[in-house]
Structure 1
Amino acid sequence: MAQIVESSQTSFIKGRDQKKFHKPKLFNDHFQNYKVYGIPKAQLVIADIPYNLGNYAYASNPAWYEGGDNKNGESSKAGTEFFDTDKDFRITEFLHFCSNMLVKEPKDKGRAPCMIVFCEFEQQFELIEKAKKYGFKNYINLVFRKNFSAQVLKANMRVVGNCEYGVILYRDKLPKFNNHGKMIFNCFDWERDGVTVKVHPTQKPVKLLERLIRLFTDPGEVVIDPVAGSAVTLLAAAQTGRKGYGFEIKKGYFKDANEKVLSRIQIPLF
């Protein structure tokens, strides 16, 4: 039986700026089963899809070795997956969900929905091509720049990766964009999150997610994360006054996300 969890906070608190803070909802189920929950359609889908790395998840990560040092021999993470679904994630099923759950493109300009997908470098090209079959004809590449690199085992190459990648996918009209009429670069700084408890190996910084949500949605609109993991997207949605919905199929991550992340939603008091 699928489980549903809402944050223990009150449904919303109304401040002087008239923004509402909504309880996020996390479903312990596969996003393919979305119809039974009757969730509203979204202005924005944010997803950190599995990279299908399989047993090579830690291939260039120091965690492959005990204490991060190859002199100590391999650790229990050597030759293992981040999670057992990180080898057969089906992008077409994901895109089908998004095509159904994003709001229809309005007639007015500057109101269109979009999706933001964090992905492995080569996955972005597969996403771009397959998305066209579901009506998402346009894209903008994203780069997330870190001031550190986990690829220490590739240090002998001298050039190591310090970036993550993503893509904005949209239909015909440019998505809603809230930046006071100013452009932004497609390279974002990846600010480390030293506040939120880490419960998932590919967890994203909350401040980064909050910035993306503010750029592409208005307060009160719906944000969906179909592969929620740690549920930090739902946390970011709630803390920016949006309605967050997410799906997480693994019971362990679902439990940790609810008990350690969503239970700590900080609602501003005015």
Structure 2
Amino acid sequence: MKFEIFNDHFQNYKRYQIPKAQLVIADIPYNLGKNAYASSNAWYVDGDNKNGESEKANTEFFDTDKDFRIAEFMHFCSKMLIKEPKEKGKAPAMIVFCAFQQIQMVIDYGEKYGFMNAYPLVFIKNYSAQVLKANMKIVGATEYAVVLYRDKLPKFNNDGSMIFNWMNWSKDGKSIPQIHPTQKPQAVLKRLIEIFTDKGDTIIDPCCGSGSTIRAAIELNRNAYGFEIKKDFYKLATEQMLKEYEVSLFEI
């Protein structure tokens, strides 16, 4: 198996000559800007508004969470997913985690770049980050993603069982470093990887953040390549999330 993570923008992929993927998984920025913590008690010191605002009040998750260019992202995916093979049940797919309000945008841009088919996935939590709204309104306890593919249905490993378009969202245990504010749980990532790929297939995460997708792929014996433009997240991913694996790391 081969695993590499690059401290670079995915647009510069050509310089690395990485193989094309069976599956692209990405958690694109939600473009929340300075409202990132607006419904979370992290807005206040120790989570209590009596203590005043914390350093996270009126701040972004990260400074790239406001100007994500989805057209560039879709172009990358259209180039880096393998071509559809003649055989049935072997086609590639991409999975894009996004905010509920971004679902239609992801589908529309996907169509412009040849991904003519799409369907949403819903992930159900037993908790909510919107604690400040709990006594005011129904709070959000779901996450969303969109599965996109070109023409043929993508590879699908269901082991004879029906797979619903909703899945449980399980928190990571203490053994998994919590690096990124929108980090996805290993159980969720592994389930998706198992459904849409086989051992030995290649996975690419163009916005790999904490490196959680790369870790999940490694543990499932898939090849994995990731791009992370932010040096601080790249450093944490390589020194914490992936420290126990022999991964080739490239820093620009």
For residue 138 of structure 2, give the secondary structure of its aligned residue in structure 1.
coil
The gaps in structure 2 that reach 5 residues or longer are 247-252
TM-score by length of 1: 0.89
Partner Cα distance (1:181, 1:104) in 2: 26
Q: Give CA deviations for 1:72-93 in whole Å, capped at 9, x if unaligned.
A: 1111100000000000001111
Q: Is the contact between residue 24 and residue 235 of structure 1 (CA under 8 Å) also seen in structure 2?
A: no
Partner Cα distance (2:161, 2:118) in 1: 19
Query: Where in structure 2 are the equivalents of 1:140-219 lying within 5 Å?
Result: 140-194=119-173, 195-219=175-199
Tell me the C-alpha RMSD between the 2 structures. 1.1
* Alignment correspondent of 2:58: 79
Partner Cα distance (1:176, 1:182) in 2: 15
* Alignment correspondent of 1:108: 87
How far apart are residue 181 of structure 1 and its match? 3.0
How far apart are residue 130 of structure 1 and its match? 1.1
* Alignment correspondent of 1:31: 10
Letter in 2 for 1:83: F
Query: Where in structure 2 are the equivalents of 1:57-136 lying within 5 Å?
Result: 57-136=36-115
How far apart are residue 119 of structure 1 and its match? 0.2
How far apart are residue 240 of structure 1 and its match? 0.2
For residue 217 of structure 2, give the secondary structure of its aligned residue in structure 1.
helix
How far apart are residue 23 of structure 1 and its match? 4.1
What's the % identity of the aligned pairs? 64
For residue 94 of structure 2, give the secondary structure of its aligned residue in structure 1.
strand
The gaps in structure 1 that reach 5 residues or longer are 1-21
Partner Cα distance (1:57, 1:250) in 2: 18
Instruction: Please say if 1:50 is aligned against 2:33.
Output: no
Letter in 2 for 1:99: S
How far apart are residue 182 of structure 1 and its match? 2.5
How far apart are residue 238 of structure 1 and its match? 0.5
Partner Cα distance (1:89, 1:104) in 2: 26
Query: Where in structure 2 are the equivalents of 1:187-266 lying within 5 Å?
Result: 187-194=166-173, 195-265=175-245
How far apart are residue 158 of structure 1 and its match? 3.7
Partner Cα distance (2:37, 2:121) in 1: 23
Partner Cα distance (1:103, 1:155) in 2: 45
After the TM superposition, which parts of structure 1 deviate over 3 Å for at least 4 consecutive aligned residues? none
Letter in 2 for 1:47: A
Q: Give CA deviations for 1:144-188 in whole Å, capped at 9, x if unaligned.
A: 111100001111234110001110011111110001232201111
Partner Cα distance (1:23, 1:218) in 2: 15
